[in-house]
Amino acid sequence: MRFSKKTGCFYPENISYPNLPPDLIDVDEKAYHAAMNRRHGEVLEVVEGKLMVANGRIVYRTDTGGRMIIGESGPLPDGATEKERPSELYDWREDQGAWALDRDRALASVREEIKAYRNHRMDAGGAFYEGRWFRTDVFSHKDILGAVSIGEEFDAQSEQDRTWRDMENEYVVLTAKEMAELNKAILRMRRDAFTAFERHMGLLGESENPLEYDYRSKWWPESYAAWWRCSIALRGRIASGSTGLTVSSCAIRNRSRLFLCAGSSVFSMSNIHESAYSTR
């Protein structure tokens, strides 16, 4: 048997679940029996990785933040508080009687998050070229560079060998010159991602609380995911006969036309230059 403090539920091993909470612990038969037969007013708690039936107060160690169970009445023991530790980035401040954020550890933690987000945007964000989104992961980019490097030899290949699949799983035949332009689009995206990364890393150090700094909303190059969300909203409005949109500027390709959503109006255009395509 397994138990999740987050959901307060048990999860038998013989049942397959599509999604399981991340805080599952194993529960032996004795602990499960005690949990199922607990009295009114008793609660289930996870203490040091074990399920316990608590009939007292839950308090927290000020050195590690770990849970302890003490009697319902009486003073707190030394080195304990009733305030739960927000995360491992906080330390107990006796002079304040509260958990205080360690700024250096918080900065280091968020910096790693920004690095991971930068890498994700470069690998999975996609590059927009000639009305299509193309994959930008390491393997796809390597194939594109290979096509560019052989130039005329690539153009001499059959259409099947020059067929590329975009991020909507549609196929297009490309030339070596077009491959070179696609490579430039990928390099621009990567350059813009690094520029956004450097700006966020600089501003993070100036933030009062690093954990509250929003590094996702500004300056990153456009991504296929944002385009897709906007396209879904636009298609829904078109299907319902509405011409007003409340989403940011975006362009989507629908059959042979591009629809530009700018502010609150929708325009149908036969061609939109890449530089005119922008959205947050």
Tell me what pLDDT residue 201 has. 96
List phi, psi (to 5°) of 58.
-95, 120
Tell me what pLDDT residue 227 has. 84
Q: Which residue has the higher pLDDT, 270 or 138?
A: 138
For the chain, give the mean pLDDT: 81
List pLDDT tens digits, range 19-59. Answer: 888 889 999 888 888 888 887 767 787 877 888 787 777 88
Which of these, 89, 84, 46, lies nearest to 65 by C-alpha position?
Answer: 84
Q: Find the helix or strand (DSSP H, E) in which 262 lies.
A: strand 257-262
Q: What percent of the chain has pLDDT over 70?
A: 81
Own/partner pairs for 103-110, CB < 8 Å, 24+ apart? 103/210, 106/209, 106/210, 106/211, 107/204, 107/205, 107/210, 109/210, 109/211, 110/204, 110/210, 110/211, 110/213, 110/215
DSSP 221: P
Task: Estimate to the nearest angstrom the gap between the alpha carbon of 117 and the chain centroid.
Answer: 8
Q: What whole-number distance in Å separates Cα of residue 129 and Cα of residue 132?
A: 5
List phi, psi (to 5°) of 173.
-90, 125
Tell me what pLDDT residue 173 has. 92
Tell me what pLDDT residue 75 has. 80
Q: Is 70 exceeded by the pLDDT of residue 115? A: yes
- For residue 56, how many other CB atoms are within 10 A of its CB? 15
List pLDDT tens digits, range 121-165. Answer: 999 999 999 989 999 999 999 999 998 888 888 888 888 888 989
DSSP 175: -
Tell me what pLDDT residue 278 has. 35
Given a contact cutoff of 8 angstroms between Cβ atoms, the answer to whether 134 and 166 are in contact is yes
SS3 137: coil
List pLDDT tens digits, range 183-226. Answer: 999 999 999 999 999 999 999 999 989 999 999 988 999 899 88
Q: What whole-number distance in Å separates Cα of residue 133 and Cα of residue 140?
A: 12
122 sits in the region (left: phi over 0; alpha: psi -120 to 50; else beta) called alpha
List pLDDT tens digits, range 80-111. Answer: 998 999 999 999 999 999 999 999 999 999 99
Which of these, 251, 138, 130, 223, lies nearest to 182 by C-alpha position?
Answer: 130
Q: Is 60 exceeded by the pLDDT of residue 259? A: no
Q: Is 80 exceeded by the pLDDT of residue 182? A: yes
List pLDDT tens digits, range 165-177. Answer: 999 999 999 999 9
- For residue 192, how many other CB atoms are within 10 A of its CB? 17
Structure token pair of residue 159: 């259409």
Confidence of residue 252 (pLDDT cuts 50, 70, 90): very low
Q: What percent of the chain has pLDDT over 90?
A: 44
